[in-house]
């Protein structure tokens, strides 16, 4: 019984960490997508003024 009780909290903690990591990865991905989108918008605006940005 003591072994079962010892491993169970570790597994719960690991599951929580994995869930948090997945959540953070999703947030980071959405942030990167937003930044890319903004960079594309800026790039389009600048490309009309000078060909250097393309």
pLDDT at 47: 56
pLDDT at 54: 47
Residues 7, 16: Cα–Cα separation, whole Å: 14
**Half-sphere exposure of residue 29, counting CA atoms within 13 Å on the CB side?**
6
Tens of pLDDT along the chain (54 residues) come to 555 556 677 888 999 999 999 988 999 999 999 999 999 888 776 555 555 554
Q: pTM of this prediction?
A: 0.48
**Half-sphere exposure of residue 8, counting CA atoms within 13 Å on the CB side?**
5
Instruction: Give yes or no for a contact between 28 and 34, defined as CB atoms under 8 angstroms apart.
Output: no
Q: Residue 24: which H helix or E strand, with range?
A: helix 2-49
């Amino acid at each position: 019984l003591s072994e079962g009780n010892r491993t169970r909290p570790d597994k719960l903690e690991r599951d929580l960490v994995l869930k948090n990591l997945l959540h953070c990865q999703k947030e980071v991905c959405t942030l990167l997508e937003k930044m890319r989108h903004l960079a594309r918008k800026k790039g389009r605006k600048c490309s009309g003024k000078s060909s250097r940005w393309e």
